[in-house]
Amino acid sequence: MTSVLVVDDDPTILQIVETVLRSGGLDVATRTCGRDGLRAAHEQPPDCAVLDVTMPDMTGLEVCRALRDDAETANIPIILLTGRGQWLDVASGFDAGADDYLVKPFTAQDLLTRVAALTARGHQARG
């Protein structure tokens, strides 16, 4: 079963994303802050990570960079999920190493499609 780590400090968004992903048959782990998300990714690397950008302790951009800088987690597909949709925000997300960038509000189908595409690509890359 495909595993997805979701990190968001907003409990409502966290629950919505978890519900959507579980409805798609995915195994979901959730964390409410960047540091816990980073720790969880190292303890049990997921097939995909969905990170909120704006969190108080460690931003999604910082978590993304930290995952990319570590050989054990460098290949985890990462989707940044945020309310910040200006072109500079999107560019910053990709500069940090994100594979995709999804702006809130989003549709359930869009999230599921993006996770499926990234995890399929990740499985192919790993052989």
For the chain, how many helices (H) and strands (E)?
5, 5
Q: How far is CA 88 from CA 44, 105, 106, in A?
A: 32, 18, 19
pLDDT per position as a tens digit, 55-112: 989 999 999 999 999 999 999 999 999 988 889 999 999 999 999 999 999 999 999 9
pLDDT per position as a tens digit, 11-31: 999 999 999 999 999 999 999
Q: Is the pLDDT of residue 118 over 50?
A: yes
Helix (H) or strand (E) holding 44: none
